[in-house]
Structure formats: structure tokens, C-alpha cells
Chains A and B, each alone.
Chain A
Amino acid sequence: MPNLPTPQERDAALSAFAATRTGREKPSQYWKIDLETLMPNASLDGAAGEVTIESASSRAIAVDLQTGARDHAALFERAFRRAIEPQHKFAHLALANARLGAFIYIPADCALDEPIVVRYRAAEGDITYASAQFAPQDARVIFTRVARPGRDARVAWASAELGASLSLTELVITIEEPGVDAKIATLFFPTGSQHVDIVSSVDHRIGDATSETLVKSAAAGRGQGRYLGNIRIAAHAQHSDASLRDDALLLSQTAHIDSIPALEIAANDVKAYHGATVGALDDESIFYMTSRGIDREAAERMIALGFFEPAIDRFPTEALREELRTALQAKVTS
């Protein structure tokens, strides 16, 4: 087992995590957080789960981390070890945690006929999954994400579709156990001649569970977007609590967004909320900001970026949130 950490190596990595100083113990004007106070909040031994991967391609590599480390040592080394900076406090922590995951390698000249399917199963489910899609303009991206959370599990998805000429995403959460708390947040912003199509489905098959779907979209240029939001609450799924909030902002005359919420509620003792808006930038908001000296373009930019902020807020790290803000800003000004 050449590359993936053994239990001994994991312990060593954890000790190294504890022993390595960040040099940022004293908050100053340059940093505000004492990094030494950040500790992992989950016991590494307690976490259990598995990943299964299906791939029909003979040339692409799609395997779990252990197999990747064993059978594709050189490639794995390049992708994995190089991604983890040695001597860095949190790199040790990442290494200690590196057990459950997928290693996917697609050669540059390889086209896939069938999708690669990655399944995670966590024993104690509390999953935050974020993805930001910045694929190049000539790419077409097709994603399907499915979650079947277990009893009392919390699932939070955050996704952003910003790149590619065509992006099709299907998000499915099926609730078959009580106590589930499921959250979907997605944002998309087709510009130029991009086309984004997103379908989300939350299926409450059992009661006493909560779901929340938040969608923020904008379109500019000749960008086209379509969002179809399904919420289903089965007849016996009493005490379900489902909400769907979907706001779309049109930034040009030629841009188009279809927003189609579909609520199917068969139970009678549930809370279900749905709200949707489609519109252009609000004149009163623009006037208010310009009356403070901010020029019209900057005001429009600030309002449009602010519009996305509730969805951006659902992404797990500040670095990722900043990356999204930067990408959205570039799209607003393009």
C-alpha cells in the first residue's frame, strides 16, 4: 500500500497536525483568526462509510482512493500528494482524513460515452457537498446528484453552474427516513449564448422531515436558463416541512429564464412554502443607490451580486465564496 496513509501514518499525521505551528497564533491587522484554535470537530475513528464507483470507460480511471493509490501510483502521486502541501498544519489534517474518496483521471484525448457514477455512503450522515462549475466555454456538462439520507441525517448541497456552453443538472433528494434535514442551494448565471437547465426534486416519502430549496439565477446577453423545482409530499408524510424559494433576475432584453415550480402535496398536516420571482433590476433600488453618489453601473453590479448572496452564503468556505463572487462579478460586467 504505497500512498494512502496507513493507520500509523494517520496517527502520525494527526500528531503532526497538533505539533505544527501555523505562525498565526496572534491575530493582528493582517489576520483576525488564531489558526491554532481551529480543531477538527469530528472523531476520525468514529467516521465510517464507503464509496462505490461505476465507470464503463476503458481508458478513464475511476476508482476509490485506495485502489488509485495502489494501482496508479505515479498518477495518484501527481494528483494527490502534490495537492497537499507538506509542512502545512492543515495538510497534515487532510492527510489524516484521506480515506474515503474517489480518484478520477480522464486523459486529455478521451471522450466518455457513459457517465461515471460515484456513490458515497456515510454511516452517520451529515454531508455538505459543494460544487462550483467553471468549465470552459466549449464544454457541455451533465450532472446528476442523488441523495438518500438516512434517519436524522443532514444533507446540504450547494452548487453553482457558471461555465460551459450547455449545463444540465439534476438534483434529487429522496426522503425515506424521518428526522432528515435536506438543503439544496443552487445558483446559475448564463451569459453570452450559454444554456443552463436545472431540475431539482425533493421527495418527502415519510413525514417529520424538513427540506429547503433555494435557487438564485440571473441571465444576461442571450443566456437561457430553465429551472424546474419539484416538491412532492406523499399522503402519509405528515409533519413534513418543505420550502422552495426561487428568484430569477433578467439583465438583458434577450436573456430568458423559465422558472417552473411544481408542488405536489398529498398530506394535509404539513408546512409547505413556495415563493418565486422573475424580474429585472428594480428601478427604486438603482435610484436609491445612485442618489448616494454610486454610479449606475456600479449600483447595478452591487444589486445583482447582492441578489446571489443568500445562495453564495450556503457554500462552505470563504475562499470558495470569494471565488464565486469574483466569477459572478466578471459575468455581471461582461
Chain B
Amino acid sequence: MSDQGLRVAGLRASVEGNEILKGIDLAVEPGKVHALMGPNGSGKSTLAFSLAGHPHYDVTAGSAVLDGEDLLTLAPDKRARAGLFLSFQYPAAIPGVKVPNFLYAARQAVRPGELTPGKFRTLLLEKMDVLGMDPSFLGRYLNDGFSGGEKKRLEMLQMAVLAPKYAVLDETDSGLDVDALQDVGDTIQALRASDEGKSTGFLIITHYPRILQHITPDVVHVMIDGRIVKTGGPDLAQRIEREGYDTLREETGALA
């Protein structure tokens, strides 16, 4: 079972010729919650997009392996089918594509043939209830005219419906009020408590520690300037809450 886990080693990535990730090592075990913290511009989102296979991000070195499967050779849809999920910070709006049709297509792609449309609808309404989403969402087009908070809720709904092996949440907490934050926390807890999601591993990318009041991480990583400069337990997040990133930056000798 040693190949279980989302294992990133020596990962370097560039955008338009500028190196953003300068060698990332990270391993998320099944069922564990990791938080990846860091100031703006440290490369957190680049890591998320590189793992998911965004075409604008060039991975120049290193590896990313999901339960033994090499992600970097796969197209984005195959990475999702291997069990990876990325919650987008700014998800695309796609007019004309209805939320339930999209979700059903995604569910069928990731977990083929398990659910009839009728059973799928029941599942969808159940998950929406946890997120405090009105059933009228089902009549709307994908992210089209959604507020920031509605987009984040829809990302969480997708995570709940797809029940991935590993979920990377890219600043899902940013711009959310306390209630919405609570709903995000509840969704993660509900997924972890379900049969489908009990071994889901999480990589929660965040700038602020406050999401971590709703879900306690097993491991906290701090990323500064494209490198992970420190890894610790939940107390590391508390320290960042108290001191910010500056003292860590000095202590680890990371470039400002």
C-alpha cells in the first residue's frame, strides 16, 4: 500500500517562462487533511493548477503521483477520473449548460454507470441541503450570474457529488462570510463521514487560517516563494494567525 497517497516530489512549474514552483515535496495520505498556507503570490494556486493539468502551466521537473498513477502524463479529464478534484478559486461561467446536466455528466465520467438520473437527482438534492442551496440552483446555468459565494457553494456541491480520492481546495474560503464558511466545513465533514468519501485526502489551500477553525488539519504546510518552507501540525496555523508570515520568512531564510 506504499503507493497510496497524492505524492508530489521535486515539482517545478513555470508560467510563460517564469518559474513559480521551485521544487515542491508533499504527500497527502488517504483520509488526511492537509492545509497549504502562504502569502499571496507564493505559488499555491500554481501548484493546484499544475496538479489538475491546466494547459498554461508548464511542469518542468519532478513528479505528481496519485495512488500510484502518474498524473503528469494524463489529460485533465483523466486526472479527474483517476480521483483528483480541484475546487477553483474563480470557476468559469458556462451559459446554456444547466447545473444538473453538467453534474450528471461529470458524475458519470468519474464514476460510470452507478446512478440512474432519478437516483442522481435524489443524491443531488440531499447534498444541496447540506450546503443550504435552494433547489432553484438546478434550473440555472453553470456559474452564470452566480455571486462569489454561490460559485464556491457550487464547487463544494461538485466535490460532494463526485466524492474524489483527493480534493484540492484552492482558496475556497476566500470571500466567504461566516455562514458560508460553516457550510464549506460541514460539506467536508459530511464527505469524510460518508462511505464514498471516508478515505478522501484533502489539500486545503488558504491564505487565512480562519477556515481551519471549521476543519482541523492533520498537517500544515507553509509555502513561500515557490517552496514549502515549513511543515507542522495545527499549531503552525495558530502561529501564523498570531504572527503572520513575516517571522517564518525570516526564520527560514526565504526570500521576501
Contacts and interface: CB of A to CB of B under 8 A. Distances in A.
A287 B94 contact: no
Given A282-B92, A295-B109, A290 B97 contact: no
A285 B92 CA distance: 6
Interface stretch (A19-27, A54-62, A95-103, A299-307): A299-307
A302 B104 CA distance: 12
B88 A292 contact: no
Interface stretch (B64-72, B74-82, B126-134, B216-224): B74-82
Given A287-B55, A306-B141, A294 B77 contact: yes
Interface string B111-143: 000000010000000000000000000000110
Nearest to B118: A29
A182 B158 CA distance: 40
Contacts of B96: 303, 305-310
A303 B98 CA distance: 11
Overall SS of chain A's interface: helix
B77 A293 contact: yes
Contacts, number: 84
Given A292-B162, A293-B162, A306 B95 contact: yes
A283 interface: yes
Contacts of B75: 290, 296
A134 interface: no
A299 B94 CA distance: 11
Given A287-B76, A288-B88, A291-B76, A298 B95 contact: no
Contacts of A298: 105, 109
Contact of A289 (B79, B81, B102): B102
Interface centre among A292, A303, A306, A307 (most CB of B within 10 A): A292
B77 A290 contact: yes
B55 A291 contact: no
Given A293-B110, A306-B97, A310-B96, A287 B54 contact: yes
A298 B102 CA distance: 11
Nearest to A283: B55
Given A287-B55, A291-B52, A293-B80, 13 more contacts: A282-B92, A283-B55, A287-B76, A289-B102, A289-B106, A291-B76, A292-B80, A292-B102, A292-B105, A294-B106, A295-B77, A306-B94, A309-B95
26 contacts: A285-B92, A287-B54, A288-B91, A288-B94, A289-B102, A289-B106, A291-B52, A291-B80, A291-B86, A292-B80, A292-B158, A292-B162, A294-B106, A294-B109, A296-B75, A296-B77, A302-B94, A302-B105, A303-B97, A306-B95, A306-B141, A306-B142, A307-B95, A308-B96, A309-B97, A310-B95
